[in-house]
Chain A
Amino acid sequence: MSSVTLSDVEKYYGPLRVVHGINLEIESQEFVVLVGPSGCGKSTTLRMIAGLEEISSGTVSVDEKIINRVAPKDRDVAMVFQNYALYPHLKVFENIAFGLRIRKEPKDHIDKTVREVSEILGLTPYLDRRPAELSGGQRQRVAMGRAIVRHPKVFLFDEPLSNLDAQLRTQMRAEIKRLHKRLGVTSVYVTHDQVEAMTLADRIVVMNDGNIEQVGTPMELFMNPANRFVAGFIGSPPMNQFEGTLTANADGLFANVGNASIALPEINNVQHGQAVVVGIRPEHISIHPVDNLPSIPISLDLVEPLGSEALLHASIDNQPLIIKAETHGDIEHLKAVTELFAPTDLIKVFDKETGAVINSHPTGRIAS
């Protein structure tokens, strides 16, 4: 199995820099997801690993061997494309066998490998069909079959599930995860869907404007975002963020958000009156009184029931916020909510100017 290393990788299209010198170590057998909004450079990065885009500067290595000048076919990578990239004139068998035929593998080997892979992916009954005669999920499986059949060192996935409906996406996500467990091949997966990233990744790489914002396990990113961008990107709904100013008194550190006062964890090197952004996840907010926590008044706009949970759309000092609360089978009691309680330990404080987190400790108070 193989590791992938990106060192100071840049990509220019003419004068336009789309990838800004990124560094990333992907360990052997790891499943890394590159996630970010459209145009953040994640697909370009993946395509540079595949060899479909030239690397403007920096190096990409597989197993410590620099592959910048190695042709895509010799990189021993396999890629699954967003729109499947299946050959419409070839049957499923021939689609899966394509890479092996191109490499002039012996016929019986091709036959054996394709049938093995089809068995793994549940495609055996469809080998004689053309792509047009398959469902979206089956086509996606064929696309994966084409990648698996070559036994590559690295799998590259470019938004492979974005053409599927929500239900099928959930199903295929689980299949990809199972497949990775079974095959243990180093995988790089690009998506703009943070749910896909959270559920699939060993580590997530959050990208924005051609830069890596943060690299970490899904829970690291969820619990301890490095900046406001990551906080706003990871999580569904994303972290609530309110602008406020710091004040301190005998009871501790607070952020004044309009008339409301939010108790903060202790933080070093901050100044009284400093402009900050307070972040709290919708699932961490309580609508029931919690010991020692000050009540924060809110004005409720809307309750969106999701079943066992509901999303409460509200505001503090005209700054919007979302609370995720349990319904216990009824949402009427949620419509009367007028205050919230924010557990101090789970609050993140960001510098208003730079957007960087000030209290980077994942949980717990920081001693003064």
Chain B
Amino acid sequence: MIWLSDHVRNEWRLYLMLLPTIIWFIVFLYKPMYGLQIAFKDYSIFKGVAKSPWIGWEHFQSLFTNDQFLRAVSNTIKISALNLLFGFPAPIILALMFNEVLHAGYKRAAQTIVYLPHFISSVIIAGIVITAFSPSVGIVNTVLGWLGFDSVYFLTKPEWFRPIFVGTGIWQEAGFGSIVFLAAIAGVNPSLYESAVVDGASRWQMMWKITLPSILPTIIIMLIIRIGNIMEVSFELIILLYQPATYETADVVNTFVYRQGLQSGQYDFAAAAGLFNAVVAFVLVMVANTLSRRYSRTSLW
């Protein structure tokens, strides 16, 4: 049996390389967990975390009677569901489409173009979206104008927020997200396709009967990760795109926590909302992993 200390002594170079990540986890993820206790306290910045008095589940009781919070939970789930429904298959479809492109130059150019939005800051992405949907100079309204429709101020209409948000997410991330599926496709044994060609399969049949089943384990792993992040709707982009007029459909748990905690100074209440979010996410990822392991023999752990 090898003791940890012996292992560290022998493999100290590897541990040294691991160190920055461990420090990052401690500083940014584990140490802040100490502050989670304020979700159960009447927190005062003057008394500090340790000396603020315990009040039990009071903040959670307030949360579940707070209409804004319940609306935020509902919005989070709805936006995440839309993201899962449209945003999750998008990179898979894109990867399958790239796989069918035979012209190498065209394929490279197309891939570069769809990867690009991922590298653009969310602030700029939001700027582009706001401009594109602007009622006066936006391309969308210009085109609507050509078609004889009246201008619509999309970003102030609650019913338009979710389609715009989900669409923007797909535009920004589908290309980059397709890389992992393209890598999985590249790992498929080429003789499976050759064998299918001799058997008479069309490209469409090969995609359905070979490519998709072959990359299914990767799809499942990505789905588990996605489900784990279901409560983590892209916070920056929502902050940048939403406005009080669209809170009705746009306000999610994270933006609610941001407003309550940082803007209104209710740190304890916001911590309770954040903790609730984290617990739900934890349960979701556990359930998804267990179901996946049971039914598809593929799991994260």
**Contacts from A to B (Cβ < 8 Å):** 50-52, 72-74, 77-79, 81-83, 85, 87-90, 98-99, 102-103, 146, 150
Contact = CB atoms under 8 A, between A and B. Distances in A.
B199 A73 contact: yes
22 contacts: A50-B198, A51-B198, A52-B197, A72-B200, A73-B198, A73-B199, A73-B201, A79-B195, A79-B198, A83-B189, A85-B189, A85-B191, A85-B194, A87-B213, A89-B213, A89-B214, A89-B216, A98-B209, A99-B199, A102-B200, A103-B200, A146-B199
Given A87-B210, A88-B214, A89-B213, A99 B192 contact: no
B198, B209, B216 pick with most chain A CB within 10 angstroms = B198
A13 B190 CA distance: 19
A72 B198 contact: yes
B121 interface: no
Contacts of A81: 191, 194-195
B185 to A, nearest CB: 14
Nearest to A150: B199
A52 B189 contact: no
Contacts of B216: 89
B66 interface: no
A99 B200 CA distance: 7
A50, A52, A85 pick with most chain B CB within 10 angstroms = A85
B192 A87 contact: yes
B228 to A, nearest CB: 25
Cβ-closest 9 pairs across A and B: A73-B200, A99-B199, A85-B195, A89-B213, A85-B191, A81-B191, A102-B201, A72-B198, A79-B198
Contacts of B195: 79, 81, 85, 146
Given A87-B210, A87-B213, A89-B214, A73 B197 contact: yes
Contacts of B233: none
A219 B192 CA distance: 37
Given A77-B198, A88-B214, A89-B216, 17 more contacts: A50-B194, A52-B194, A73-B200, A73-B201, A79-B194, A79-B195, A79-B198, A81-B191, A85-B195, A87-B192, A87-B213, A90-B213, A98-B209, A99-B200, A102-B201, A103-B199, A146-B199
Interface residues of B, dominant DSSP: helix
Interface residues of B, number: 17
A181 B204 CA distance: 37
B199, B210, B216 pick with most chain A CB within 10 angstroms = B199
A98 B196 contact: yes
Contacts of B196: 98, 102
A148 to B, nearest CB: 13
A78 B214 CA distance: 23
B205 interface: yes
Contact of B191 (A51, A83, A102): A83
A56 B113 CA distance: 36
B64 to A, nearest CB: 45
B213 A52 contact: no
B192, B194, B195, B210 pick with most chain A CB within 10 angstroms = B195
B288 to A, nearest CB: 21
A182 to B, nearest CB: 22
A50 B197 CA distance: 10
A98 B213 CA distance: 14
Given A89-B214, A102-B205, A78 B198 contact: yes
A89 to B, nearest CB: 4
Nearest to A75: B198
Nearest to A52: B194
Nearest to B212: A89
A160 B179 CA distance: 34
Contacts of B209: 87, 98
A50 B209 CA distance: 21
Interface in B225-278: none
A146 B192 CA distance: 12
A51 B199 CA distance: 12
A150 B200 CA distance: 11
A368 B87 CA distance: 87
Contacts of A88: 214
Contacts of A85: 189, 191-192, 194-195
A79 B195 CA distance: 7
A81 B192 CA distance: 9
A50 to B, nearest CB: 6
